[in-house]
Structure 1
Protein backbone atom coordinates (compact mmCIF):
# COMPACT_ATOMS: atom_id res chain seq x y z
CA UNK A 1 0.00 0.00 0.00
CA UNK A 2 2.83 2.40 0.91
CA UNK A 3 4.47 1.63 -2.46
CA UNK A 4 1.25 2.59 -4.31
CA UNK A 5 1.00 5.95 -2.51
CA UNK A 6 4.62 6.74 -3.29
CA UNK A 7 4.19 5.76 -6.92
CA UNK A 8 1.04 7.88 -7.28
CA UNK A 9 2.82 10.84 -5.67
CA UNK A 10 5.71 10.54 -8.11
CA UNK A 11 3.30 10.30 -11.04
CA UNK A 12 1.49 13.44 -9.88
CA UNK A 13 4.78 15.35 -9.60
CA UNK A 14 5.83 14.23 -13.08
CA UNK A 15 2.46 15.26 -14.50
CA UNK A 16 2.69 18.68 -12.84
CA UNK A 17 6.21 19.19 -14.14
CA UNK A 18 5.23 18.24 -17.68
CA UNK A 19 2.07 20.33 -17.72
CA UNK A 20 3.92 23.31 -16.26
CA UNK A 21 6.47 23.10 -19.06
CA UNK A 22 3.85 23.34 -21.76
CA UNK A 23 2.21 26.62 -20.81
CA UNK A 24 2.70 29.83 -22.76
CA UNK A 25 1.02 33.23 -22.32
CA UNK A 26 -2.35 33.16 -24.05
CA UNK A 27 -4.17 36.05 -25.69
CA UNK A 28 -7.65 36.95 -24.48
CA UNK A 29 -10.65 35.22 -26.05
CA UNK A 30 -11.65 38.62 -27.49
CA UNK A 31 -8.27 38.95 -29.25
CA UNK A 32 -8.52 35.34 -30.47
CA UNK A 33 -12.04 35.82 -31.85
CA UNK A 34 -11.11 39.14 -33.49
CA UNK A 35 -8.04 37.62 -35.19
CA UNK A 36 -10.17 34.77 -36.54
CA UNK A 37 -12.26 37.28 -38.52
CA UNK A 38 -9.19 37.61 -40.80
CA UNK A 39 -9.68 41.33 -41.42
CA UNK A 40 -6.85 43.02 -43.29
CA UNK A 41 -5.40 46.52 -43.01
CA UNK A 42 -5.18 48.57 -46.24
CA UNK A 43 -1.51 49.48 -45.61
CA UNK A 44 -0.25 46.39 -43.72
CA UNK A 45 0.19 42.62 -44.10
CA UNK A 46 -1.00 40.00 -41.61
CA UNK A 47 1.18 37.01 -40.74
CA UNK A 48 -0.56 34.08 -39.08
CA UNK A 49 1.97 31.53 -37.80
CA UNK A 50 0.27 28.39 -36.52
CA UNK A 51 0.94 24.93 -35.07
CA UNK A 52 -2.34 23.08 -35.44
CA UNK A 53 -1.06 19.53 -34.93
CA UNK A 54 -1.15 17.58 -31.68
CA UNK A 55 2.23 15.91 -32.32
CA UNK A 56 4.78 17.46 -30.00
CA UNK A 57 2.11 19.79 -28.66
CA UNK A 58 3.81 20.26 -25.28
CA UNK A 59 7.15 21.23 -26.85
CA UNK A 60 7.82 24.95 -26.76
CA UNK A 61 9.34 26.57 -29.84
CA UNK A 62 10.61 30.11 -30.18
CA UNK A 63 9.76 32.25 -33.19
CA UNK A 64 11.70 35.20 -34.58
CA UNK A 65 10.54 37.58 -37.29
CA UNK A 66 13.05 39.88 -38.95
CA UNK A 67 15.67 39.10 -36.31
CA UNK A 68 13.37 39.86 -33.36
CA UNK A 69 11.97 37.36 -30.89
CA UNK A 70 8.16 37.44 -31.18
CA UNK A 71 6.78 34.47 -29.22
CA UNK A 72 7.18 30.99 -27.82
CA UNK A 73 4.43 28.64 -28.89
CA UNK A 74 3.14 25.13 -28.26
CA UNK A 75 0.89 22.84 -30.30
CA UNK A 76 -2.57 23.98 -31.34
CA UNK A 77 -1.68 27.66 -31.00
CA UNK A 78 -1.08 30.55 -33.39
CA UNK A 79 0.15 34.10 -33.46
CA UNK A 80 -1.04 36.98 -35.62
CA UNK A 81 1.45 39.69 -36.53
CA UNK A 82 0.68 42.89 -38.43
CA UNK A 83 3.73 43.88 -40.48
CA UNK A 84 4.75 46.38 -43.12
CA UNK A 85 4.56 44.96 -46.64
CA UNK A 86 7.86 43.64 -47.97
CA UNK A 87 10.37 40.88 -47.32
CA UNK A 88 10.25 39.14 -43.93
CA UNK A 89 12.45 36.44 -42.45
CA UNK A 90 10.68 34.02 -40.10
CA UNK A 91 12.77 31.61 -38.01
CA UNK A 92 11.50 28.68 -35.96
CA UNK A 93 13.87 27.33 -33.29
CA UNK A 94 14.08 23.67 -32.25
CA UNK A 95 17.07 21.32 -32.37
CA UNK A 96 17.38 22.85 -35.82
CA UNK A 97 16.57 26.42 -36.87
CA UNK A 98 14.33 26.70 -39.91
CA UNK A 99 14.32 29.96 -41.87
CA UNK A 100 11.54 31.04 -44.24
CA UNK A 101 11.74 34.21 -46.35
CA UNK A 102 8.38 35.64 -47.38
CA UNK A 103 7.55 38.71 -49.46
CA UNK A 104 4.23 40.24 -48.42
CA UNK A 105 1.85 42.73 -50.00
CA UNK A 106 -0.39 45.22 -48.23
CA UNK A 107 -4.01 44.33 -47.44
CA UNK A 108 -3.33 40.56 -47.47
CA UNK A 109 -3.21 37.65 -45.03
CA UNK A 110 -0.32 35.17 -45.10
CA UNK A 111 -0.41 31.81 -43.34
CA UNK A 112 2.72 30.02 -42.13
CA UNK A 113 2.42 26.43 -40.91
CA UNK A 114 4.99 25.41 -38.30
CA UNK A 115 5.60 21.67 -38.59
CA UNK A 116 7.10 19.77 -35.66
CA UNK A 117 8.69 16.32 -35.91
CA UNK A 118 9.52 14.60 -32.64
CA UNK A 119 12.22 11.94 -32.88
CA UNK A 120 13.76 9.67 -30.28
CA UNK A 121 16.52 12.17 -29.56
CA UNK A 122 15.73 15.41 -31.40
CA UNK A 123 12.83 17.67 -32.25
CA UNK A 124 12.88 19.24 -35.72
CA UNK A 125 10.89 22.13 -37.13
CA UNK A 126 9.94 23.37 -40.58
CA UNK A 127 7.95 26.40 -41.77
CA UNK A 128 5.73 26.37 -44.86
CA UNK A 129 3.74 29.15 -46.51
CA UNK A 130 0.32 27.52 -47.05
CA UNK A 131 -2.80 28.36 -49.06
CA UNK A 132 -5.37 30.64 -47.45
CA UNK A 133 -8.04 27.94 -47.00
CA UNK A 134 -5.52 25.60 -45.31
CA UNK A 135 -4.18 28.42 -43.12
CA UNK A 136 -7.58 29.67 -42.02
CA UNK A 137 -8.62 26.16 -40.99
CA UNK A 138 -5.38 25.72 -39.03
CA UNK A 139 -5.90 29.03 -37.23
CA UNK A 140 -9.57 28.30 -36.50
CA UNK A 141 -8.54 24.97 -34.90
CA UNK A 142 -5.91 26.71 -32.73
CA UNK A 143 -5.85 29.24 -29.89
CA UNK A 144 -4.07 32.60 -30.05
CA UNK A 145 -0.98 33.16 -27.92
CA UNK A 146 0.38 36.46 -26.62
CA UNK A 147 3.43 38.08 -28.08
CA UNK A 148 6.13 40.53 -27.08
CA UNK A 149 5.97 44.23 -27.95
CA UNK A 150 7.17 45.18 -31.42
CA UNK A 151 8.66 48.12 -33.23
CA UNK A 152 6.23 50.17 -35.35
CA UNK A 153 7.12 48.04 -38.40
CA UNK A 154 5.97 44.89 -36.64
CA UNK A 155 2.99 44.77 -34.31
CA UNK A 156 0.28 42.51 -32.97
CA UNK A 157 -3.26 43.69 -33.62
Structure 2
Protein backbone atom coordinates (compact mmCIF):
# COMPACT_ATOMS: atom_id res chain seq x y z
CA UNK A 1 0.00 0.00 0.00
CA UNK A 2 1.03 3.58 -0.49
CA UNK A 3 2.11 5.51 2.54
CA UNK A 4 -0.75 7.50 3.99
CA UNK A 5 -3.28 5.04 2.58
CA UNK A 6 -5.05 3.02 5.17
CA UNK A 7 -6.69 -0.33 5.15
CA UNK A 8 -10.42 0.36 5.67
CA UNK A 9 -10.93 -3.12 7.11
CA UNK A 10 -8.20 -2.65 9.68
CA UNK A 11 -9.74 0.62 10.94
CA UNK A 12 -13.18 -0.89 11.17
CA UNK A 13 -11.82 -3.89 13.04
CA UNK A 14 -9.91 -1.66 15.45
CA UNK A 15 -12.85 0.68 16.05
CA UNK A 16 -15.24 -2.30 16.53
CA UNK A 17 -12.90 -3.81 19.10
CA UNK A 18 -12.58 -0.46 20.87
CA UNK A 19 -16.36 0.03 20.89
CA UNK A 20 -16.91 -3.48 22.23
CA UNK A 21 -14.40 -2.83 25.02
CA UNK A 22 -15.98 0.53 25.89
CA UNK A 23 -19.48 -0.87 25.90
CA UNK A 24 -18.46 -4.02 27.81
CA UNK A 25 -20.02 -2.77 31.04
CA UNK A 26 -23.47 -2.17 29.56
CA UNK A 27 -26.31 -4.74 29.47
CA UNK A 28 -26.65 -4.02 25.79
CA UNK A 29 -23.05 -4.95 25.02
CA UNK A 30 -21.17 -8.08 24.12
CA UNK A 31 -20.44 -9.75 27.45
CA UNK A 32 -18.87 -13.14 26.80
CA UNK A 33 -15.94 -14.46 24.84
CA UNK A 34 -18.35 -16.66 22.90
CA UNK A 35 -19.97 -13.52 21.49
CA UNK A 36 -23.26 -13.88 23.36
CA UNK A 37 -25.29 -10.85 24.27
CA UNK A 38 -26.37 -10.29 27.87
CA UNK A 39 -29.88 -11.46 28.66
CA UNK A 40 -30.39 -13.71 25.62
CA UNK A 41 -29.41 -17.17 24.46
CA UNK A 42 -29.23 -16.12 20.82
CA UNK A 43 -25.88 -15.95 19.11
CA UNK A 44 -24.66 -12.40 18.55
CA UNK A 45 -23.11 -12.32 15.08
CA UNK A 46 -22.19 -8.70 14.54
CA UNK A 47 -22.87 -5.09 15.32
CA UNK A 48 -25.54 -4.52 12.68
CA UNK A 49 -28.79 -2.72 13.44
CA UNK A 50 -30.80 -5.75 12.29
CA UNK A 51 -29.09 -8.00 14.86
CA UNK A 52 -29.74 -5.48 17.61
CA UNK A 53 -33.42 -5.27 16.65
CA UNK A 54 -33.75 -9.07 16.61
CA UNK A 55 -32.15 -9.36 20.03
CA UNK A 56 -34.37 -6.63 21.49
CA UNK A 57 -37.46 -8.32 20.00
CA UNK A 58 -36.40 -11.58 21.62
CA UNK A 59 -36.01 -9.84 24.99
CA UNK A 60 -39.49 -8.34 24.68
CA UNK A 61 -40.99 -11.72 23.65
CA UNK A 62 -39.34 -13.45 26.62
CA UNK A 63 -40.61 -10.80 29.04
CA UNK A 64 -44.16 -11.10 27.69
CA UNK A 65 -44.04 -14.89 28.13
CA UNK A 66 -42.94 -14.75 31.77
CA UNK A 67 -45.42 -16.19 34.20
CA UNK A 68 -45.53 -17.35 37.76
CA UNK A 69 -44.58 -20.89 38.69
CA UNK A 70 -47.94 -21.08 40.46
CA UNK A 71 -49.66 -20.82 37.08
CA UNK A 72 -48.23 -24.18 36.03
CA UNK A 73 -50.18 -27.37 36.73
CA UNK A 74 -49.06 -29.04 39.95
CA UNK A 75 -47.28 -31.92 38.17
CA UNK A 76 -45.07 -29.45 36.21
CA UNK A 77 -44.18 -26.98 38.94
CA UNK A 78 -42.90 -29.50 41.45
CA UNK A 79 -39.46 -31.08 41.60
CA UNK A 80 -40.44 -34.02 43.82
CA UNK A 81 -43.74 -35.79 44.36
CA UNK A 82 -43.86 -34.55 47.97
CA UNK A 83 -43.41 -30.86 47.05
CA UNK A 84 -46.31 -28.70 48.25
CA UNK A 85 -47.50 -31.57 50.43
CA UNK A 86 -46.53 -30.54 53.95
CA UNK A 87 -49.22 -32.66 55.62
CA UNK A 88 -48.81 -36.38 56.23
CA UNK A 89 -51.92 -38.53 56.50
CA UNK A 90 -50.93 -41.94 57.71
CA UNK A 91 -53.68 -44.34 56.84
CA UNK A 92 -54.14 -47.84 58.22
CA UNK A 93 -56.44 -49.87 56.02
CA UNK A 94 -58.03 -53.29 55.91
CA UNK A 95 -56.65 -55.89 53.49
CA UNK A 96 -59.70 -55.48 51.25
CA UNK A 97 -59.17 -51.71 51.10
CA UNK A 98 -55.48 -52.15 50.27
CA UNK A 99 -56.29 -54.48 47.36
CA UNK A 100 -58.99 -52.09 46.09
CA UNK A 101 -56.55 -49.15 46.33
CA UNK A 102 -53.92 -50.91 44.22
CA UNK A 103 -56.56 -51.83 41.64
CA UNK A 104 -57.90 -48.26 41.58
CA UNK A 105 -54.39 -46.84 41.10
CA UNK A 106 -53.83 -49.14 38.11
CA UNK A 107 -57.23 -48.21 36.66
CA UNK A 108 -56.37 -44.51 36.95
CA UNK A 109 -53.07 -45.07 35.14
CA UNK A 110 -54.96 -46.80 32.33
CA UNK A 111 -57.52 -43.99 32.12
CA UNK A 112 -54.91 -41.24 32.05
CA UNK A 113 -52.61 -43.32 29.86
CA UNK A 114 -49.57 -42.29 31.90
CA UNK A 115 -47.53 -43.54 34.84
CA UNK A 116 -48.82 -42.09 38.09
CA UNK A 117 -46.98 -41.76 41.33
CA UNK A 118 -48.70 -43.69 44.09
CA UNK A 119 -48.82 -40.47 46.14
CA UNK A 120 -50.67 -38.60 43.37
CA UNK A 121 -53.11 -41.44 42.78
CA UNK A 122 -53.90 -41.87 46.47
CA UNK A 123 -54.45 -38.17 47.05
CA UNK A 124 -56.72 -37.95 44.00
CA UNK A 125 -58.77 -40.91 45.24
CA UNK A 126 -58.90 -39.38 48.73
CA UNK A 127 -60.11 -36.03 47.35
CA UNK A 128 -62.65 -37.73 45.09
CA UNK A 129 -64.05 -39.42 48.20
CA UNK A 130 -64.40 -36.01 49.84
CA UNK A 131 -66.50 -34.88 46.89
CA UNK A 132 -68.78 -37.90 47.26
CA UNK A 133 -69.58 -38.02 50.96
CA UNK A 134 -72.81 -39.94 50.32
CA UNK A 135 -70.68 -42.89 49.21
CA UNK A 136 -68.44 -42.54 52.27
CA UNK A 137 -71.52 -42.37 54.50
CA UNK A 138 -72.84 -45.60 52.94
CA UNK A 139 -69.55 -47.40 53.69
CA UNK A 140 -69.52 -46.14 57.28
CA UNK A 141 -73.12 -47.31 57.80
CA UNK A 142 -72.15 -50.71 56.34
CA UNK A 143 -69.36 -50.86 58.93
CA UNK A 144 -71.96 -50.34 61.64
CA UNK A 145 -71.87 -46.62 62.38
CA UNK A 146 -75.67 -46.46 62.42
CA UNK A 147 -76.05 -49.52 64.63
TM-score (ref. length: structure 2): 0.28
Q: Please identify which structure carries the higher helix content.
A: 2
Higher strand share: 1
Structure whose alpha-carbon radius of gyration is higher: 2
RCO (CA 8 Å, sep 6+): is it higher in 1 or 2?
1
